[in-house]
Structure 1
Amino acid sequence: MSAYRPEEDFLPPPVSLTVTPSAPEAGKAVTLTATLTNTASIPLRGTVLYLAVEDTGTPDSLGTLTPGRSVARTWRTRLADDAEGRIVFTAHALFDVHRHGSDCARATSSVLLPYRSLPGAFDNAGIASDDALTVANIDGSNSSLSAEALASVGLTPGATVTFDGVPFTWPDVRPGSKDNVVSSGQTVLLSGSGSRLSFLGTSTWGDGKGDGKVVYADGTEQAFSVAVPDWYGANSSAAVVLPYRHIISGRDDNPVSLFTFGVDLTAGKELRSLVLPKVSDGLQSGAAALHIFSMTIN
């Protein structure tokens, strides 16, 4: 029998994890299959394979796994009725490698469910108060909107404001909390009907350009594109201009702009969901990103 030689043997053996269906729905069941393969030259003793779903674990004892052997285990679990966004699953293997020591290996897999509302999709804190600049980062380089500057133009938490004849509800959150979504192709559930779906937001590091789509209750889809100007400066097409912003070194007295934009809808058709424009893969300093703070059907 081979002895344990950490400098040669360990690299931990790989674990893989698959989820089916790959695009599940809230309240529905998913099947998770984890596979552990012993690629080491020694047996793995007392092997236990755990599946973790939302911080709860389900163990399965595998005993001894000889070199070259693979073992798969399958679990079935039901997603919560109110599940939304990214759901992460983890397979974690624990095993003894010699009499006085153990090791582990793990794999993760995730699914992305539709968000139940736009606030549910918020993933960025873009607003900070003037006396606590570091709690928000709208552009990946520690800049932010000022809560006090927003209040000076009526954009206080939970306020209803009207731009271009369209009412919007400003996020009802404290400075430093997640208050906008970086538009990256997320799906948001919708209901109702109207003539236009309107957004209130801005872009950082350049114009926010990308394609999205509206899905109606009858299954038909409507593609649309956006091109939202960069926030820096007093843009003549802005819905509202703020007198200053925060940067990493303090207050910057150059103005910044917020914009309205949207897509015309088929009147009378019931809405099912929205796929936000794919502008970026999240927030990164130097890369254009579109931030959406509010939307309304009008």
Structure 2
Amino acid sequence: MRTVRPLRFLGATALATLVMITFAPVAAGAGPAPEPSAPRTEVSVSSVDLDGPAVSTVKVTVKNTGPQRMRSLKVSFAGPVGWAVQPALTSVPGTFGVGATTAAEFRVQVPGKREGFTLRTFTATATYAGGDGAGSATATRTETNGVPLANLAAAYNNVGITDEGETGPGDYDGEGNSFSAQKLAAAGLEPSGRVEALGAELEWPGVAPGAKDNVAGAGQAIALSGRGGKLVFLGSGVTGGATGTATVYYTDGSSTSGSFGFPNWSFDPADAHGATLVASTDGRNRPDGYGNAGIAYRVFAHSVALDATKQVEFVVLPSNRDVHIFDMAVAS
């Protein structure tokens, strides 16, 4: 084991999110209006040196912003699953007046770096008596290694569109089937064509039929810039369970998460999972050629909410390969 390194960033970007718990008195029946809730206890986590293998020292700071003295303070700390932390829980002796700050230190066994882009989340929880009266407060910190993929096209891992004269490369659904490029064009979806959906301006993949043209979700981190009220996804599902959570990270280090889903590209109701139908094609390409005429194979749009006051930096896609995404864009 190497000597503990000073806390610093080595090609890593720190994303810190402070989560604070509030306590508000509950009024019982008629009577005077309840007093305003006390200021919230603040918990923060220092940076974590991810240049492993090494032992990194992490400091958790707790500030008493409540109207009472804080006592019986205990602080717990946890890293990613399987990472050793010593101690996992520590008691902080003494009491702390209003505005006082104290800290607890933890040692984290950091494994060797992994290839590519990684997110590592750390969580600290303080429990106490007094203070703001809530009894507990929690903070999380997410550190990153590497950089997200430059755009969605860099993450393409599936062939969902083929020419009717050469259907062999297609495998949208894991059974060798794919959209017909000719039928998509008839429905208004042509390579590099503009697609408007849910207030977003999207683009249909600008690749030749038979090339990788969409992303089957596997938790990929994709760079994306923009500011707006929602993030719109263009795609469809290949089972009835094509749902998942997308997490959006902003340039200020905060993040929001939202769940969405797509109907199966055929058979599911067009509004399943709250999606919106964008285009419908007749039939599909099978390994032995075009077939299933008279059955609709479809593309949908869905969205997750964003904090419109913040600039988007990157998006982590759902970890569900049944969710297929052709494009995504920020919309107002």
Distance 1:164 1:192, change over 3 A: closer
For the residues of structure 1 that align with 2:313 and 2:199, how far apart are their CA atoms?
25
Which runs of 5 or more residues in structure 2 are unaligned? 1-9, 14-49, 54-114, 119-144, 272-276
Aligned residues of 1:235 and 1:241 also touching (Cα < 8 A): no
Deviation at 1:233, TM superposition (A): 3.5
Deviation at 1:167, TM superposition (A): 2.0
For the residues of structure 2 that align with 1:161 and 1:212, how far apart are their CA atoms?
21
Q: Which residue of 2 aligns with 1:271?
A: 312
1:61-100 counterparts in 2 under 5 A? none
Aligned residues of 2:248 and 2:256 also touching (Cα < 8 A): yes
Distance 1:116 1:178, change over 3 A: same
For the residues of structure 1 that align with 2:156 and 2:174, how far apart are their CA atoms?
16
Aligned residues of 2:165 and 2:289 also touching (Cα < 8 A): no
Aligned residues of 1:84 and 1:115 also touching (Cα < 8 A): no
Q: CA RMSD in A?
A: 3.1
Residue by residue over 1:119-172, the C-alpha shift from the partner in whole angstroms, topping out at 9 and shown as x without a partner, is 111111111000001022111110001100110011111000223443211110
Asked if 1:127 is matched to 2:127, the reply is no
Residue by residue over 1:15-72, the C-alpha shift from the partner in whole angstroms, topping out at 9 and shown as x without a partner, is xxxxxxxx9669xxx9899xxxxxxxxxxxxxxxxxxxxxxxxxxxxxxxxxxxxxxx
Whichever residue aligns with residue 215 of structure 1, its letter is Y
Q: What is the aligned counterpart of 1:185 among 219, 224, 242?
A: 219
Q: What is the aligned counterpart of 2:239 among 172, 185, 205?
A: 205
Aligned residues of 1:241 and 1:257 also touching (Cα < 8 A): yes
Query: How many residue pairs are counted as aligned between the two chains?
Result: 196
Deviation at 1:213, TM superposition (A): 0.7
Residue by residue over 1:74-112, the C-alpha shift from the partner in whole angstroms, topping out at 9 and shown as x without a partner, is xxxxxxxxx9779xxxxxxxxxxxxxxxxxxxxxxxx97
Aligned residues of 2:198 and 2:232 also touching (Cα < 8 A): no
Percentage identity across paired residues of the two chains: 31
Q: What is the aligned counterpart of 2:171 among 124, 131, 137?
A: 137
Give SS of 2:225's match. coil
Asked if 1:195 is matched to 2:213, the reply is no
Which runs of 5 or more residues in structure 1 are unaligned? 1-22, 34-82, 87-110, 281-288
For the residues of structure 2 that align with 1:234 and 1:221, how far apart are their CA atoms?
32
For the residues of structure 1 that align with 2:241 and 2:186, how far apart are their CA atoms?
25
Whichever residue aligns with residue 193 of structure 2, its letter is A
Per the normalisation by structure 2, the TM-score is 0.53
Q: Which residue of 2 aligns with 1:117?
A: 151
Give SS of 2:168's match. helix
Q: What is the aligned counterpart of 1:260 among 279, 284, 301?
A: 301
Whichever residue aligns with residue 247 of structure 1, its letter is R
Aligned residues of 2:117 and 2:148 also touching (Cα < 8 A): yes
For the residues of structure 2 that align with 1:217 and 1:32, how far apart are their CA atoms?
25
For the residues of structure 2 that align with 1:246 and 1:292, how far apart are their CA atoms?
19
Asked if 1:297 is matched to 2:330, the reply is yes
Distance 1:205 1:247, change over 3 A: farther
1:16-31 counterparts in 2 under 5 A? none
Per the normalisation by structure 1, the TM-score is 0.59
Distance 1:146 1:206, change over 3 A: same
